[in-house]
Amino acid sequence: MMSRTLILSFLVWNLVFISGPCSPILTHAAGGGQWKLLKQNIGITAMHMQLLKNDRVVIFDRTDFGLSNISLPNGKCRNNPMELVVEYDCTAHSVEYDVLADSIRPLMVQTNVWCSSGSVSPDGRLIQTGGFNDGERAVRIFRPCSTCDWEENVYGLMVPRWYATNHILPDGRVIVIGGRQQFNYEFYPKSKLYSLPFLFQTYDPRIENNLYPFVHLNVDGNLFIFSNNRAILFDYKRNLVVRTYPQIPGGDPRSFPSSGSSVLLPLKNLQQSSIEAEVLVCGGAPNGSYVQAENGKFLKALNTCGRIKITDVSPKWSMETMPLARVMGDMTLLPNGHVLIINGASEGTAAWELGRNPVLNPVIYRPDNSYGSRFEVQNPSSIPRMYHSSAILLRDGRILVAGSNPHVSYEFTGVLFPTELRLEAFSPSYLDSGFSNLRPKIISPASQAKVKYGERLVVRFSVLGALSEKRVVVTMVAPSFATHSFSMNQRLLVLGGGKAISISKSTYEVEVTMPNSGSLAPSGYYLLYVVHQDIPSVGIWIQIQ
Ligand SMILES: *[C@@H]1O[C@H](CO)[C@@H](O)[C@H](O)[C@H]1NC(C)=O
Ligand SMILES: *[C@@H]1O[C@H](CO)[C@@H](O)[C@H](O)[C@H]1NC(C)=O
């Protein structure tokens, strides 16, 4: 019998160019995974998305796109003299998607949430910050409950934050970094403003390129901050640059609006005294792409990824070539530790009207495969997901994909890439029914279990077919705040495995040790998975504290 890896390697892909009148669409045959249209119309575009612990996804775009296609609840209207487009607005600019019920509920934001940022607090509330105009200093809280709505404090931030990046910290606070013309950072709850000259050093006066910096919490508690084409390791407590990483080879910009994306690769061997951490940065737009695009010339996006061991004392970038060039892609960690690269375009750049040639095929990156055999092209969607689209992992292992509106207002007709209100899910091939005999099912603990740092956790699960006990791992994933091609707070920890014991027919137990510090896993809600031969179970929610 052929092994699964062997079968996958047989899935050859080839390039097909389908030429349309104004824009050739890039697609591929074969690959893996399946697409499903979940909703024809959720009323708004998914510029920002966050999954909460009740399996509901908070989605929002901006209050000044014009009238959305969904009404506010209970006949409510916003009458806001500060609003720039529609002062008296009875439409919603935020919705909640209930994954289990597959239904949409309109929500009411009071101020402009455009190009903002967020993190989830240890108790499971979404803490969203900043935006534009009357919302630029707002802190908004969204509690996970079936009737909850946004609560706002319009002066929750020290300074305006538009295109900033947030990260949840080991002490439960949120750090808010940068934003347009903000070469500094602050915290929620509000305290002081601290300067961050690195954001100015990486500022390109032509087009910025230092926005939505890629921020990852390193295992030593410092923050890895990547802006434009380079990165630092930053001690936010002492306001000190601990390490300066080399510029990414080629020197092309990777952060907004030259939007590549980035993930912290799965953290492993968590019981060792020195834990390694690696960061992957993929795609983006070459230097000068923005200026060229404004003149109608759409340069090919970057097709490279840079991978770097951020815990090394003298780290070096290792470069890899993706099968598809991509700007404005999203990178989503899958429960089995693979990385999904999805959405975006192969020409141009982020920002209004500047992207061309949607990349309809996601690509899976397998970090543990040998160099040169890590990428696999997946089956294409038929829906372009350009500027202002997003992707997040759901508890059942599907990837929720929505959004795309590269126009200043909602434009449904007569444009190259109409405003996209459709909600889709991508199911990686691990969800194929052919793998049902391999797929674990978690029996205990029950979802929403509370666990402590360093605690030994016994996970009981069933597998219908033969178990390969050496190929069982338990992972935990932090649901991320996805916007503008970056998923804030995203991290995956491999807790262990490989020693599953049989309890009764088809039932097994595996014991793992929870991470022992908030630097490895900030307190809060995570999705826990049992993964068998790369096939994940449906996840359960756990709260680590
Ligand atoms: C949404 O769009 C449909 C189709 O154009 C229209 O019939 C409906 O009235 C719109 N709803 C809202 C609330 O704008
Ligand atoms: C990008 O292009 C600008 C203008 O041509 C140039 O000044 C700058 O040095 C370039 N940056 C890199 C990293 O190549």
Same domain? 176 vs 257:
yes
What pLDDT shows up at residue 497?
86
What pLDDT shows up at residue 119?
98
User: What's the domain range around 464?
Assistant: 433-544
Query: Which of 44, 65, 69 is the best mutation target for the ligand 1 pocket, counting ligand atoms within 8 Å of the beta carbon and taking the most?
Result: 69
DSSP letter for 20, please.
-
What pLDDT shows up at residue 300?
98
Query: Which of 287, 290, 349 is the best mutation target for the ligand 2 pocket, counting ligand atoms within 8 Å of the beta carbon and taking the most?
Result: 287
Share of the chain above pLDDT 70, in %: 94
Residue 284 has pLDDT above 80, yes or no: yes
Show the ligand 2 pocket: residues with CB < 6 angstroms. Answer: 229, 251, 287-288
Same domain? 331 vs 387:
yes
**Ligand 1 atom at shortest distance from the alpha carbon of 91:** 13
Show the ligand 1 pocket: residues with CB < 6 angstroms. Answer: 69-71, 91
Looking at 431, 458, 481, the residue that finishes a domain is 431
| Residue type (1 letter), 514 | M
Q: What does pTM read for this prediction?
A: 0.94
3-state secondary structure 114-129: CCCEEEECCCCCEEEE
Q: Point out the ligand nearest to the CA of residue 202.
A: 2
Question: CB neighbours of 330 closer than 8 A, spacing ≥ 6?
Answer: 261, 341, 342, 343, 344, 389, 390, 391, 482, 485, 486, 487
Same domain? 229 vs 306:
yes
For 440-472, the pLDDT digits (tens) are 999 999 999 999 999 999 999 999 999 999 999
Same domain? 333 vs 472:
no
Residue 10 has pLDDT above 80, yes or no: no
Looking at 383, 398, 431, the residue that finishes a domain is 431
Nearest residue (by CA) to ligand 2, atom 11, is 287
Nearest residue (by CA) to ligand 1, atom 7, is 69
Nearest residue (by CA) to ligand 1, atom 3, is 69
How far is ligand 1, taken at its centre, from the CA of residue 42, in Å? 11
What pLDDT shows up at residue 498?
83
Q: What is the rounded average pLDDT for all residues in the chain?
A: 94
Q: How confident is the model at residue 387 (pLDDT cuts 50, 70, 90)?
A: very high
Same domain? 448 vs 326:
no
Same domain? 158 vs 27:
yes
Cα dist. 475→83, 433, 527, 531 in Å?
A: 44, 22, 8, 7
Kind plus residue range of the DSSP H or E element containing 473: strand 472-478
Whether a cis peptide bond, with omega within 30° of 0, leads into 257 is yes
Same domain? 486 vs 387:
no
Same domain? 278 vs 311:
yes
How far is ligand 1, taken at its centre, from the CA of residue 393, in Å? 29
Same domain? 413 vs 497:
no
Cα dihedral value 200, 391, 136, 207, nearest 10 = 40
What pLDDT shows up at residue 13?
29
Residue 367 has pLDDT above 60, yes or no: yes
Same domain? 49 vs 86:
yes
Mean pLDDT of 154-164: 98
Same domain? 34 vs 72:
yes
56: CATH: 2.130.10.80
Residue 382 has pLDDT above 90, yes or no: yes
Total domains in the chain come to: 2
How far is ligand 1, taken at its centre, from the CA of residue 412, in Å? 11
Q: What angle do CA 182, 187, 390 make, to 5 degrees?
A: 70
For 478-512, the pLDDT digits (tens) are 999 999 999 999 999 999 988 899 999 999 999 99
How far is ligand 2, taken at its centre, from the CA of residue 220, in Å? 34
For 395-413, the pLDDT digits (tens) are 999 999 999 999 999 999 9
Q: Point out the ligand nearest to the CA of residue 104.
A: 1
How far is ligand 1, taken at its centre, from the CA of residue 43, in Å? 8
How far is ligand 1, taken at its centre, from the CA of residue 61, in Å? 17
Nearest residue (by CA) to ligand 1, atom 4, is 69
Mean pLDDT of 521-537: 98
What pLDDT shows up at residue 28?
41
Same domain? 355 vs 490:
no
454: CATH: 2.60.40.10
How far is ligand 1, taken at its centre, from the CA of residue 90, in Å? 13
How far is ligand 2, taken at its centre, from the CA of residue 287, in Å? 6
Hey, CA dihedral for 224, 387, 320, 431, is it positive or negative?
positive
Q: How confident is the model at residue 176 (pLDDT cuts 50, 70, 90)?
A: very high
What pLDDT shows up at residue 244?
98
SS3 188: strand
For 300-339, the pLDDT digits (tens) are 999 999 999 999 999 999 999 999 999 999 999 999 999 9
**Ligand 1 atom at shortest distance from the alpha carbon of 67:** 14
For 58-106, the pLDDT digits (tens) are 999 999 999 999 999 999 999 999 999 999 999 999 999 999 999 999 9
Nearest residue (by CA) to ligand 2, atom 1, is 287
Mean pLDDT of 159-188: 98
Nearest residue (by CA) to ligand 1, atom 11, is 69
What pLDDT shows up at residue 334?
98
Looking at 402, 431, 460, the residue that finishes a domain is 431
Query: What number of helices (H) and strands (E) belong to the chain?
Result: 3, 46
How far is ligand 1, taken at its centre, from the CA of residue 237, in Å? 50
How far is ligand 2, taken at its centre, from the CA of residue 200, in Å? 16
**Ligand 2 atom at shortest distance from the alpha carbon of 253:** 13
